[in-house]
Amino acid sequence: MALPVLNAKTFEVKQPSTGDKLKLRPFLVAEEKILLQVSDGTASEMSEATKQILKQCVQNNPDFDPDKLPSFDIEYLFLRLRAESVGAKVALMLPHKDECERTEFTIDLTHVKVEFDEKHTDKIMLDRKVGVIMRYPSVDMLSRIAELEDETDQSFTIMKDCIAQVYTADGEMHSFDDASDSEKTEFINSMSTEQFMKLQDFFGTMPTLKYIAKVPKCVTCGQPFEYEITGLANFF
């Protein structure tokens, strides 16, 4: 006689970038094993594990493709998945002043949101004639960049990955992906500092997983303080 099938509960989460509702099931033992296998792994291995788990846990979209989602979508969905699977409460040790010891503070992961900047735009005019349309970095992009030691290499790599199109005031549109690597490098190297800063501002204002922890009392000095937590890794 076949063993009975265990039915996992499901829950709905709204995808931050689109507002689409996704139905997910919590982690099962199969997903817990994946996480354990990469607990001491590289950024790329963690990225692959995160995407694999999300793909297995999304129930209402057979075409769900984590590779096509911006990093903040992946981070938020995984955070909510963790909250439903393991528990929403996480205790963190947060820093205050240099001379103070870290203070333990418990946050509720269901209160963590993706914060959007009203001034943020993916369409950037570099001068009067030429502009670019940007794409958000994926978790794969960010994991590759994290493994680069040189900050200049990091900046140039993410720029080349995230410029989607180059357009002109006359209406011409050029796919950046179709350009050769040398052409991409030449295009970025030809920018002025001001133009390069405009592209950096895109990343500085892009939607971000964020939570402001309001700690009532520092364990050392006794003063209340606030601490900003951003990015998936910093919530664990």
At 4-51, the pLDDT tens digits run 766 778 999 999 999 999 999 998 888 888 888 887 777 788 888 999
Q: Which helix (H) or strand (E) element contains residue 109?
A: none
% of residues, the chain, pLDDT over 90: 70
Instruction: Give the pLDDT confidence score for residue 16 in this predicted structure.
Output: 95
* Across 187-192, average pLDDT: 95
Could you give all domains of the chain from N- to C-terminal order, each with its CATH number?
1-87 (3.30.2220), 88-110+209-236 (no CATH), 123-205 (no CATH)
% of residues, the chain, pLDDT over 70: 99
- Average pLDDT score over the chain: 91
Give CA separation, 17 vs 183, 195, 198, 222, 229, in Å: 31, 26, 22, 40, 20
Alpha helices in 147-234 (DSSP H): 151-162, 181-189, 193-205
Residue 98 carries which side chain, given as an amino acid letter? D
| Cβ neighbours of 184 (radius 10 Å) | 18
* Token pair in block for residue 135: 């794409």
User: How many Å separate Cα 181 from the centre of its chain?
Assistant: 25
| Cβ neighbours of 100 (radius 10 Å) | 15
At 202-218, the pLDDT tens digits run 999 999 999 999 999 99
pLDDT for 57 beyond 80 = yes
Give CA separation, 198 vs 191, 202, 217, 232, in Å: 10, 7, 39, 26
* Token pair in block for residue 40: 């001491």
Q: Are 62 and 48 in contact (CB under 8 A)?
A: no
Largest CA distance in the chain: 74
